[in-house]
Amino acid sequence: MNVVVVDTYKEIGEKAADIFVAQLLMKPNSILGLATGSTPLSLYEALIQRYKDGKIDFSQVTSFNLDEYVGLAPDHEQSYRYFMEKNLFEHINIDKNKTYVPDGLVKDADAFGKAYDQQIKDMGYIDLQILGIGANGHIGFNEPDKIFTYATHKVDLAETTIKANSRFFDSIDDVPKQAISMGIGTIMKSKKIILMATGEAKAQAIRDAIYTDPAPEHPASILQFHQNVTVIVDKEAASLL
């Protein structure tokens, strides 16, 4: 794992954006794996600025998002489809028809997961995947568990995740209890991965991701087996390294 420690949250986004620019120069029709949450916002802001400055072109890109809440329609303000539209897609020249976010309203999650994974496989897998990390070590919504789940699947959110994400909802009771998440196997098939984290609350999770023996109780620790991971963190998130 290549670990990059920077001073500020903004710099995390700038460093990650450098990698995106290089990726799209090398392969303009890259398959991008995108994430939601507070952490990738600095990346998306940097990407929008670079697009405005003519430094990056998304016209040939296809994207797949990591996850979506079960029960939220795409136009729900807390859905991850909505998040992506507002925070990235509306501001760049990506073809909306080539942006995929799991469907939170799907009836048969297993069939949906299989089709999502198959589509990613048929496209040759994700070229560059961005990941945040939960304070509990989750990537996507792959929560600490007894096993690593390979495929895209429906998950029960951990209590700590529901609590953490309640900051975006009127009340904790409004937070969906389940999500559809890309599985660990699909994430691990990505050719390059960027793991981003900011703040002291993520320090233990980052330490576990990098140093603990890989185990499903610390989902991000699986990344130690991946050949091309760049961890970009600020000093606070790196404070236990």
Q: Which is nearer to ligand PGA, 1 or 115 (CB)?
A: 1
Residue 76 designated active-site: no
**Which residue in the list 68, 117, 143, 234 is annotated as catalytic?**
143
Residue 170 designated active-site: no
Q: Which is nearer to ligand PGA, 107 or 167 (CB)?
A: 167
Per-position x/- string for 125-164, each x denoting binding to ligand PGA as judged by CB under 6 A, each - no binding: -------xxx---x--------------------------
User: Which one of 18, 22, 29, 38 is in contact with ligand PGA (CB under 6 A)?
Assistant: 38
Residue 2 designated active-site: no
User: Which one of 39, 42, 99, 221 is in contact with ligand PGA (CB under 6 A)?
Assistant: 39
Residue 228 designated active-site: no
How near is the Cβ of 69 to ligand PGA at its closest, in Å?
12
**Which residue in the list 65, 87, 136, 142 is annotated as catalytic?**
136
How near is the Cβ of 57 to ligand PGA at its closest, in Å?
27
Q: CA 219 to CA 207: how far, in whole Å?
A: 12
Q: Does 168 bind ligand PGA (CB under 6 A)?
A: no
Q: In the numeric block, which tokens belong to residue 81? A: 């489809």
**Interface contacts to ligand PGA, rule CB under 6 A:** 37-39, 132-134, 138
Residues with a catalytic annotation lie at 67, 136, 138, 143
